[in-house]
Structure 1
Amino acid sequence: MTTDTAPAPATRAEYCVIACAEAWRGDGEVLAGAMGPIPTFGARLAKRTFSPDLLLTDGEAMLVGPDGTVEGWLPYRRHLAMVTGGRRHVMMGASQIDRFGNQNISCIGDWERPSRQLLGVRGAPVNTLNNPVSYWIPRHSPRVFVERVDMVCGVGHDRAAEAGVTRFHGLRRVVSDLGVFDFGGPGRSMRLVSVHPGVTVAEVRAATGFDPVADGGPEGVPVTREPSARELRLIREVIDPRGLRDREVRG
């Protein structure tokens, strides 16, 4: 006779996977542009559970299923058409991000003489101005969540409004190792909508270089949704059996 045992409690990394997966809820048939391990695991989990129409890519030229099986060919020209046509929801990283969602992945310090050279602007402006964008921050700190980014790569709500390019501009979520934000604050600024278990609103604010609005007030911010037993099994046994998620998020 066999008995079912309850899974071990979810780790911080697994809450982050769930929070990233939730960013694609309700998107329908769009391409998930997941950058990094935990966003990738989140996209695969969403595809296997509540967003079955989501399209996944191998990062190069193929559409793949949640288990990596090839389902179709995605030539570069078609990929660009999906980007510029709003048929992709990408989750990017950020070396810096401000309250309005302006993102920097190019340099730290003055652009003419930076103290650190990073990736470069890459496709961030096109992403943010043409299709939905969310962000994943694995190390929440005041060095990343800043009052003003040193260079704008991904375009935030304030600058998109100033330039009059809001028609296809849409920032959805910011997920970090401490909590989840949307852009429901004043002027479409960042708003804290959940904290991961074991994290307080005060800790989030102390790790943020600006004062974010808290949904429900300091005492009313909910805890990030707990993974179901099925979701935990999928994460641990199918999607990430090697435990790579715990290398990106500890604690």
Structure 2
Amino acid sequence: MTTETTPEAAPDPTVTRAEYCVIACAEAWRDNGEVLASPMGLIPALGARLAKRTFSPDLLLTDGEAMLVGLDGRPEGWLPYRRHLTMVTGGRRHVMMGASQIDRYGNQNISCIGDWQRPARQLLGVRGAPVNTLNNPVSYWIPRHSPRVFVERVDMISGVGYDHATGPYHHLPRVVTDLAVLDFATPDHRMRLASVHPGVSVADVRAATGFELAVEGEVPTTREPSAEELRLIREVVDPQGLRNREVRG
């Protein structure tokens, strides 16, 4: 049983955990082509902006309302709601959402904790999660990897996982957390540990997960950022260092 990883090269000690998370989120949009990147949250937004500046220049970025924006954040085009919905329902958008709960097949809950008829806690509500997950690729960003989030069974399905999904556009590329990167690249689409961030062991991730993860051989470490990527993160996309408030090493 694999419990630790042996990286191919020693990680750069100056790279923070938050910066590895930005890199891992950016990788979600690699080779996506001209699709609408819809990051929800700070770290995913930094990742999308980094991806567009480097290996995914064709990405479309939005201000979250009705405008397409450029690398400097200035409006470059109008994205009316009807056009946005066309992209959603045709697989031309890749969303990175959050999750209050997520299970081994990628079912996501952002609606309530406890029984739906009498919940112990009310959350955001289902919102657009079913349409997102059935009609375009959806990845997830979870800043605190814990058994409370990674559960055996979600209390309510908001975003649809592989064991409930239908349709040609359903795809869950990856889940990024403050500990690791996970995907569903297994024959039955169970969640798999794809990489651990430097300083994190496989045992750490297993202990923070409420179900058995698929682990195949020696798990690699999350890739190192290049010198140019680090410069862009630190000087261009997040010069204020807000990333380190969300993820602390």
Structure 1 unmatched runs, 5+: 1-6
Aligned pair count reads 238
Asked whether the equivalents of residues 135 and 167 of structure 2 are also in contact (C-alpha less than 8 Å), the reply is no
Cα 1:8–1:72, aligned 2, differ >3 Å: closer, same or farther?
farther
1:3 corresponding residue in structure 2: none
Give the alignment's TM-score, normalised by structure 2: 0.94
Pairwise CA RMSD: 1.0
State yes or no: 1:139 paired with 2:144. Answer: yes
Counterparts of 1:8 and 1:208, CA distance in 2: 27
Task: Work out whether 1:32 is the aligned partner of 2:46.
Answer: no
| Cα separation, 2, equivalents of 1:67 and 1:9 | 27
Give the aligned residue type for 1:175.
V
Tell me the SS of whatever aligns to 1:126. helix
2:223 is matched with which residue: 197, 222, 225?
A: 225
Find the aligned partners of 1:191 and 1:250 in 2 and give their Cα distance.
Answer: 24
**Counterpart contact for 1:172–1:183, Cα < 8 Å:** yes
Percent of residue pairs bearing the same amino acid type: 79
TM-score in terms of structure 1 length: 0.93
Contact 1:106–1:117 (CA<8 Å) still a contact in 2?
A: yes
1:58 aligns with 2:63: yes
Give the ranges of 4+ consecutive aligned residues of structure 1 lying more than 2 Å apart after TM superposition. none
Secondary structure of the residue aligned to 1:234 is helix
Measure the CA separation in 1 of the matches of 2:80 and 2:13.
Answer: 42
The one-letter code of the counterpart of 2:223 is R
What letter matches 1:183 in structure 2? F
Residue 211 of structure 2 corresponds to which residue in structure 1? 210
Aligned to 1:97: 102
1:214 CA displacement: 1.3
Q: Could you tell me how far 1:46 is from its partner in structure 2?
A: 0.2
Measure, in 1, the Cα distance between the counterparts of 2:82 and 2:15.
40
Secondary structure of the residue aligned to 2:163 is: helix
Corresponding residue of 1:151 = 156
1:4 aligned residue: none
| Unaligned stretches of 5+ residues in structure 2 | 1-11
1:188 corresponds to: 189
Shift, 1:92, TM fit: 0.4
1:185 is displaced (CA, Å) by 2.7
Deviation of 1:229 after TM superposition, in Å, equals: 0.7
Q: CA deviation at 1:8?
A: 6.9
Report the Cα offset of residue 67 of structure 1: 1.7
